[in-house]
Chains A and B, each alone.
Chain A
Amino acid sequence: MKLEIFPEKCTECWLCAAICSARLVGKFNPSRSAVYAESLLPEKLIMRPYVCIQCDEHPCVESCPVEAIAEDEKLGIYVVDKELCDGCGACIEACPYNGLRLDPVENYAIKCDVCRGKPRCVEICPEEVLKMVE
């Protein structure tokens, strides 16, 4: 269970991040979402949407000094335990895909859990930039 990204279709609308934050923090707040995007206009023309792609290597897990990232056996993916995470940012440094980021308010690493099976960002994205892969 993971998300796949097709960046060339991204229009920079931020609906994915807005709806993700609604689940994570109960408000519309794209700065506190697991999925986000980077615009490098005017130098680079294509958007760079980022989200954890649940890679096989998961360097984030090894990098974590407090073992806050562990496999959720039911989901079959690695998730962050918000209580254990101390916001050191090692996982963010370690991830080659820019798949994690720090919550700017509560200072913990946000990592996509694919909405535990029904990813909201996939549903709301108007351009099919994000796809669910079983």
Chain B
Amino acid sequence: MPGGYVGKILRVDLSSGKTSSEDLNLKWARLFIGGKGLGAKYLYEEAKPRADPLSPDNVLILMTGPLTGTTAPCAPKYAIYTKSPLTGTFLDSYMGGYLGAELKFAGFDGVIIKGKAEKPVYLWISDGKAEIRDAKDLWGLDIHETDKRIREKLGDKEVKVAAIGPAGENLVKIACITVDLYRQAGRGGGGAVMGSKNLKAIAVRGHQGVSVPNIEEFIELCKDITKNDVVTETNLWAKTDGTPGFLQMNQEGGVLPTKNFQMGVFEHANEIDGDAVKKILVRKRACYGCPLGCGNITQVKGGPFAGTVIEGPDYETLALGGSNCYISDLEAIAKYNLLCDKLGLDTISTGDAIAFAMECYEKGLITKEDTNGLELTFGNVEAYVKMPNLIAYRKAIGDVLAEGVRRAAEKIGKGSDRFAVHVKGLEYPGYEPRGAIGMALAYATSDRGACHMRAWPVDSEVFGDMDPFTTEGKAQLVIEGGIGQNLYCAKWSLVICDFYAIGYENIARLASAATGWKLSEDDMKIIGERISNLVRMFNVREGFTRKDDTLPYRIANDPLKGGKADGHVVKPEDFNKMLDEYYKLRGWDKEGRPTKEKLKELNLI
């Protein structure tokens, strides 16, 4: 057996109540490594095509990688792999914290969950065993309370818990899964998938450990990479500031989503930026095995939100829950963050949904009758902090927003789809493409809808030397750039955190040292491309083609206001030019379907 893996996959059938363990498919492991690759492979093979994502037919997979649980720097991550109820696409959503490592210590590389439990249950995994337990008394509780009660029930404070809150239970399509209190599989509605299966939580504890072929050599490699490639100028922002540092950078670059993507700068940016967050900082928190420790444990000490303690707010929460809602009160954003964490809501999509509703309200498309009497204007803190509850419990306008902005716009009508900013139903995150045109392509071609963590051309366009307004070279950048889709796929097969800007060379060194396989840089490049194509195959099988790789109306038609990109739009002809080039470089046809030749070349058929 190769090292790094623990060699077992746990199968859970919630309909029959049975669990079983089987050997990890090593042939697939060699082709796809782990994480995103293996998760996508198991999902592709086991999912019933065109299944309703909220039906028992949907499959929910947890997958780690060969580095999970070791001393490899910044490799704490693991993810859920499923079909998204928000987008209908492939969904992978990554979590930090400690549960991924714990799952390996408990003897499993991954978990495949199918079916639907008759009544609320939670899954208890420990040392090679799994039990489906009654969760009647946990149903309805918020995530922090659920986490606490499960650890009390099991009598072990070190049990790691991933849980859903009321939002997931109520099948809110922007519901997240929260793990280790403050870390989320945020995007795409994974929480609703758990809710639809009556699965309240997954609890894990293990004492079995992870082996690698030569542990001393492995440790020396980790130390070398940590010193020379991790704790370096490139990545130190994570340690010193964490993600809030991006707020001021994006403000300067004119790409900070503001007022539901009407503007690219926020006049109160300095009230919610990295320096502002430092004023409420208590300490840093790292995920398992991370020498950077980007997490900010913060505490609100006075005012109406006194007592709020969170890990955050991170940049995306500050942008979509802050500037995009025109909220300049950092303590209110912290409260919003805590509410979302406990109720189980994605802070990005929820922020966008609130911003969208605020614009609807100001335009008179919805009224106080819809908002439970709330004066839902941009920047109104009082109304803003009440919104997560309305959405999680599907009350009033919250019931509409719980479906995400695409469906909310369909329901509200009256032209509101023109300012519902999403791709494939996934709300835009915190980088405005009118000031970084490559991001429009990155969002359009991302496997799970508008996501900033599938390619990040903004790094070259706003923080680097590339012209942010030209289409030139952008397709190449999105596919094969230093922070492009293929590299991300390789990186997330291991699963290494986004915030360590690792290149193929060290990806290959770590993967080889953990598994014992001789993997070269070129091997990892091919694996990255293979995974990119596999997830596209999944989406094509679900009916997604070029028609779905879209540019939102607002980005194409409404000139951005303020900042460096003032007056800019992303012209559809520019967008289509990039998309044509993208498909061509990918070896896909004009409809965005991988060609047989390409799939053969990548050993996918």
Q: Check if A and B associate.
A: yes
A residues near B, CB below 8 A?
Answer: 8, 11-15, 18-19, 21-22, 25-32, 38, 41-42, 45-47, 104-105, 123-124, 126-127
Query: When the two chains form their complex, are residues B206 and A31 in contact, meaning their CB atoms are under 8 A apart?
Result: yes
Does the CB pair B215–A27 fall under 8 Å?
yes
B288 touches A27 (CB 8 A): no
Per the bound structure, the CA–CA distance linking A126 and B438 in Å amounts to 36
Could you tell me if B219 and A22 are in contact, using CB atoms closer than 8 angstroms? yes
B-side residues, CB < 8 A to A, are 69-71, 98, 101, 105, 144, 157-158, 181-182, 206-212, 215, 219, 223, 226, 231, 282-293, 295, 297, 299, 309
The residue in B209, B212, B215, B285 that gathers the most chain A C-beta atoms within 10 A of its C-beta is B209
Beta-carbon contact of B71 and A28 below 8 Å: yes
With A31-B158, A31-B206, A45-B297 already in contact, the answer to whether A12 and B285 are too (CB < 8 A) is yes
A11-B71 contact in complex given A42-B181, A42-B309, A46-B283, C-beta closer than 8 Å: no
Residues of chain A within 8 A (CB-CB) of B181 are: 41-42
Verify A19–B297 contact, CB threshold 8 A. Answer: no
Instruction: Decide if B105 touches A31 in the complex (CB within 8 Å).
Output: yes
Contacts of A46 in B (CB 8 A): 282-283
Alpha-carbon distance between A29 and B208 when the two chains are bound, in angstroms:
7
Which residues of B have CB within 8 Å of A8? 283
A28 to B309 CA separation, bound complex (whole angstroms): 32
Q: Name the distance in Å between B343's Cβ and chain A's nearest Cβ.
A: 15
Closest to B299 in A: A45
A11 pairs with B207, CB closer than 8 A = no
* Min CB gap A89→B, angstroms: 15
Interface of B is mostly: loop
What are the residues of chain B within 8 A of A31 when measuring CB–CB? 105, 158, 206-207
Nearest chain A CB to B65 CB, angstrom units: 14
A94 to chain B, nearest CB (A): 21
A72 to B211 alpha-carbon distance, docked (Å): 30
Closest to A123 in B: B223
Given the known A-B contacts A8-B283, A14-B98, are A26 and B215 also in contact in the complex, defined by CB atoms under 8 Å?
A: yes
Using a Cβ cutoff of 8 Å, how many contacts connect chains A and B? 91
**B282 partner residues in chain A, CB cutoff 8 A:** 45-46
Q: What residues on A are CB-neighbors of B209 within 8 Å?
A: 21, 25, 27-29, 32
Q: Which 9 A-B pairs have the closest CB atoms?
A: A29-B209, A27-B209, A126-B291, A13-B286, A11-B286, A11-B293, A104-B207, A31-B207, A28-B210
Asked if A13 contacts B219 (CB within 8 A), the reply is no
Residues of the B chain whose Cβ atoms lie less than 8 Å from the Cβ of A42: 144, 181, 309
A11 lies within 8 A of B211 (CB): no
Establish whether residues A14 and B284, one from each chain, have CB atoms under 8 Å apart when the complex forms: no
Nearest CB in chain B: distance from A27 CB, A: 3
Question: Do A32 and B283 touch across chains, with their CB atoms under 8 A apart?
Answer: no
Q: Nearest Cβ distance between residue B486 and chain A, in whole angstroms? A: 29
A29 neighbours in B (Cβ, 8 Å):
105, 207-210
Q: Report the bound CA distance from A47 to B208 in whole Å.
A: 24
Q: What are 5 sample pairs from A and B whose C-beta atoms fall under 8 A apart?
A: A11-B293, A18-B70, A41-B297, A46-B282, A126-B291
| Contact A45:B283 (CB < 8 A) given known A29-B210, A124-B223 | yes
One of A13, A26, A38, A47 near B291 (C-beta < 8 A): A13
- Which residues of chain A have C-beta atoms less than 8 A from B70's C-beta? 18, 28
Q: Which residue of the partner chain A has the closest CB to B68? A: A28
CA distance A16 to B525 in the complex (A): 33
Nearest chain B CB to A46 CB, angstrom units: 7
Query: Cβ of B223: which chain A residues have Cβ within 8 Å of it?
Result: 123-124
* CB of A25 to closest CB in B, whole Å: 6
CB distance from B161 to the nearest CB of A (A): 12
Residues on the A chain within 8 Å of B206, using CB: 31
Complex Cα spacing A41 to B151, Å? 13
B293 contacts A14, C-beta separation under 8 Å: no
Interface centre among B182, B212, B282, B293 (most CB of A within 10 A): B293
Q: How far is the CB of A129 from chain B (nearest CB, A)?
A: 11
Residues of B within 8 A of A45 (CB): 282-283, 297, 299, 309
Which one of A13, A27, A105 lies within 8 Å of B210 (CB-CB)?
A: A27
Q: Within the assembled complex, what's the spacing in Å between the Cα atoms of A132 and B289? A: 21
Q: Is B293 a contact of A27 with CB atoms below 8 Å?
A: no
- Give every chain A residue within 8 A of B182 (Cβ-Cβ): 41
How far is the CB of B199 from the nearest CB of chain A, in Å?
A: 24
Contact across chains for B211 and A26 when beta carbons are under 8 A apart: yes
CA distance A14 to B206 in the complex (A): 15
Nearest B-chain residue to A25, judged by Cβ: B209
B211 touches A27 (CB 8 A): yes
Bound CA–CA A42/B338 (angstroms)? 11
Least CB distance, A11 to chain B, in whole angstroms = 4
In the bound complex, CA of A111 to CA of B405 (Å): 56
Residues in B whose Cβ lies below 8 Å from that of A19? 71, 219
With the chains together, A124 CA to B291 CA distance in Å? 9
Contacts of B215 in A (CB 8 A): 22, 26-28
The reply to whether A22 and B297 form a contact with Cβ atoms under 8 Å apart is no
Chain A CB count within 10 A is highest, among B101, B181, B182, B289, for B289
Q: Are B71 and A13 in contact (CB-based, < 8 A)?
A: no
Q: A19 vs B284: C-alpha distance in the bound complex, in angstroms? A: 21
A47 and B157 CA atoms in complex are apart in Å by: 14
CB-CB nearest in chain A for B4 = A28
Contact A105 B71 (CB under 8 A): no
Please state if A14 and B288 are interface contacts (CB–CB under 8 Å). Answer: yes
CB distance from A126 to the nearest CB of B (A): 4
Chain A nearest CB from B109 CB (Å) reads 14
Chain A residues near B210: list those with CB within 8 A.
27-29
CA distance in complex: A22, B212 (Å): 10
Specify the chain B residue showing the minimal Cβ separation from A44.
B309
Interface contacts beyond A21-B209, A126-B286: sample of 10 additional A-B pairs, CB < 8 Å, sorted by A = A11-B284, A12-B285, A13-B288, A13-B291, A18-B70, A19-B71, A41-B309, A42-B181, A42-B309, A45-B309
Closest chain A CB from B2 CB (angstroms): 15
Q: How far does the alpha carbon of A123 sit from the alpha carbon of B157 in the complex, in Å?
A: 27
State how many angstroms separate the Cβ of B79 from the closest Cβ of chain A: 20
Tell whether, in the assembled complex, residue A105 and residue B207 are in contact, meaning their CB atoms are under 8 Å apart: yes
Contact A11 B309, CB 8 Å, known A22-B215, A28-B70: no
Smallest Cβ distance from B148 to chain A, in angstroms? 9
